[in-house]
A and B are shown apart, each in its own frame.
Chain A
Amino acid sequence: MWKPEPSDVDLRYLVEQDQLTEDGLLQAYRTMCTIRAFEEAIAERYAVGKTPRFDMASGPIRGEMHLAVGQEAVAVGVCPLLEAKDAVVSTHRPHHHALAKGVDPGRLAAEIFGRQTGLCQGKGGHMHLFDRELNFACSGIVGASFPQAAGAAFAFRHRGEPRVAVAFAGEGAANHGTFAETLNAAVLWQLPLVIVIEDNLYADSTPKWAGLAQPHQFQRALGYNLPAYLVDGMDVMDVRRAARRAIEQARQGRGPSVIEAVCYRYRGHFEGDAEEYRTREELERWRALDPISRLGGRLRRLGWADGDRLARIEAEARDVVAAAVAFAERSPLPDPGEALTGVFG
């Protein structure tokens, strides 16, 4: 859902309307750069030992890997508006949400590398990340995030706490019955829930036109009588505008919302994906809408950053990620005996 790029006059108007600050937008830029650098670093390390034959079990990072390069604006448009006490339930593609929620990049990387120092001491892995203090969780099962976030929202509402729960899910996941079921329950009980549909046009390899009966998932939400926003997921300001309304509404006890953010993943569904289902040209068209360079351009037009400052932020983000990956790589693997502990608490 590409929206027109605002003129200089309109840009200032939108910044004022959305109460955006220089610090806030620079921080959004920094977080998106960190996510981009993190995902690219993971891609690079994941590829080690996987050529010439692609073998998921070889190399320093084992198993499947789903990266979110291109989708940074969705996470950064939503998560920085949340507090640590607010819950996020993410998906099989969770790194950008985790980083935007404030999860430590080193412990995140260490979990992806299966190390003892990881978020879950190596028991979770890339699709099963948990950070109790930040109320961050995810699931590798498509469609599983909706009811779990609703459950957290139920607990918050039950105790009368001004906390919000956010479920992230793809547009393919929203074909799952849990989307409809959760919308019904969340509206019925006016839960402080925000559902963010990260619509990257492909459910694994299946293009949206082959999997959705309507153009968009937010249309289904309308039938449940709740606010549903369609936003430009390649524009962090547009995502943030809807997210701010939805989160405020939830926090004030006025019920749930749905945000559908149309975006694009630059890499395959998984690392190793041959991507037969799409064209190079399509990817290039979406790259022209890159969320990081679009925000960078706006920061320049606002006079809040020049090229040097943006380059410095990008370099700092790469340093943070390099340190995180180095921490992961020098961390010990867990003791095999740990495998038999912790089934029950």
Chain B
Amino acid sequence: MRKLRGIAAAIAEAVDQEMAADPAVVVLGEDVTYWGAVFGFSMGLMQRYGRERVVDTPITEQTFMGMAVGAAAAGLRPVVSLMFVDFLGAGFDQMFNHMAKNHYMSGGQVAMPVTVLTAVGGGYGDAAQHSQVLYGLFAHLPGFKVVVPATAYDAKGLTTSALRDPNPVLVFGHKLLTGLPFLPFEGLEEEEVPESPYTVELGRAAVRREGRDLTLIAAGLMVHRCLRAADRLAGEGISAEVVDVRTLVPLDVETLVASARRTGRVLIVDEDYQSYGMSGELAFRIQAGAFGALQAPIRRLAVPDVPIPFSEPLERAVIPSVDRICEEARALLGAAAAASSP
């Protein structure tokens, strides 16, 4: 089977194949032609479909998000590039007050089949306005589906599902998983990805590694850091299970709870801000479903509630690293040991 490195080519291929299948699919956004939306999610599409279907917009997030709302209501299936998720501030009204609500407010009359592709995450020195993930903000608001692929296989299959969904779906592609030459890469070096179209169902978490002693739960880039941490912990005799959430909305609570019940200990690793975000929500859902099986309080490792700083040692201090994941995992086991000792 053909192999890919990174999520960018996989996402672009999913969009390409849906464009070939459905003339209603159009791509809108900044630099979506020559630059492939900067992070590669639309690369090659202008050459195949031309500027009529791959439309470079002026740098006006609120207006092209609003156009996506109007175009979707009028029967197109827009794929909108939000170059960096950090730029949502310039377009958020049209997203959360209209894109996410018009279907509901209209009593189900208005369909809103919009896919938003956005690049997220830090770790390469782009500082406070170009390094956030912010998926928790969107997951908080009713009406968005929130997809965070960690692998190229998932990136293609989930993006295809997103484009076929009648609702607004946001695909959060981590920059350090894109496989582009100008960025560090922490994904899988070679991954088998089918060339023909396929879907990965929204709302199914994936157990990436099985383990007995604790469960590490993460999304996007943090899945890979958890897998590396699990490797290292295995060398210390600690067996860590790694669960990839894949989609925050819809959320596969069942898989998370089942893993928590198996291992009895849970560490949630999140690149989003700590408070009022994914880590708290998952902890709540897990305790509600696995309280009796938990051997220690759930722990979390997320970006402490500060903006992402620029200087390298500062940035490293706030974005969860393999080292910090290992430390937290050990602490969780220590806490569990302490709790079970007389």
Contacts and interface: CB of A to CB of B under 8 A. Distances in A.
Query: Secondary structure of the B side of the interface?
Result: mixed
Nearest to B59: A181
Given A147-B65, A158-B76, A178-B63, A123 B70 contact: no
B66 A184 contact: no
A120 interface: yes
B199 interface: no
A64 B142 CA distance: 23
Contacts of A132: 106, 109-110
Interface string B69-98: 111111110100000000000000110011
Interface residues of A, number: 44
Nearest to A184: B58
Contacts of B69: 147-148, 151
A295 interface: no
Contacts of A344: 103, 143, 145, 166-167
A139 B101 CA distance: 11
Nearest to B101: A128
B104 A155 contact: no
Interface string A172-186: 000001100110110
Contacts of B101: 128
A341 B78 CA distance: 25
Contact of A343 (B53, B65, B72, B142): B142
Residue among B68, B73, B74 with max Cβ neighbours from chain A (10 Å): B74
A3 B105 CA distance: 40
A52 interface: no
B115 to A, nearest CB: 14
Residue among B68, B94, B112, B166 with max Cβ neighbours from chain A (10 Å): B94
Interface residues of B, number: 44
B97 A151 contact: no
A87 B103 contact: no
Interface in A104-144: 118-124, 128, 130-132, 135, 137, 139, 141, 144
Residue among B65, B73, B110, B143 with max Cβ neighbours from chain A (10 Å): B73
Nearest to B70: A151
Contacts of B111: 345
A150 interface: yes
B60 A181 contact: yes
Contacts of B104: 123, 342-343
A182 B63 CA distance: 6
A175 to B, nearest CB: 14
B143 A343 contact: yes
B209 to A, nearest CB: 32
A165 interface: yes
Interface string A274-310: 0000000000000000000000000000000000000
Contacts of B66: 144, 146-148, 150-151, 178, 182
A122 B26 CA distance: 33
B108 to A, nearest CB: 5
Contacts of B63: 146-147, 150, 178, 181-182, 185
A137 B73 contact: yes
B64 interface: yes
A142 to B, nearest CB: 10
Contacts of A139: 97-98
Nearest to B78: A151
B108 A147 contact: no
B58 A155 contact: no
Interface in B102-158: 102-112, 142-143, 145
A48 interface: no
Contact of A131 (B65, B94, B108, B109): B109
Given A158-B76, A345-B167, 9 more contacts: A123-B104, A123-B107, A137-B106, A147-B65, A147-B69, A149-B70, A184-B58, A185-B57, A345-B108
22 contacts: A87-B70, A119-B106, A121-B108, A123-B104, A137-B73, A137-B106, A139-B97, A141-B93, A148-B94, A149-B70, A151-B74, A154-B71, A155-B74, A165-B74, A177-B60, A184-B58, A185-B57, A343-B143, A344-B143, A344-B167, A345-B108, A345-B166
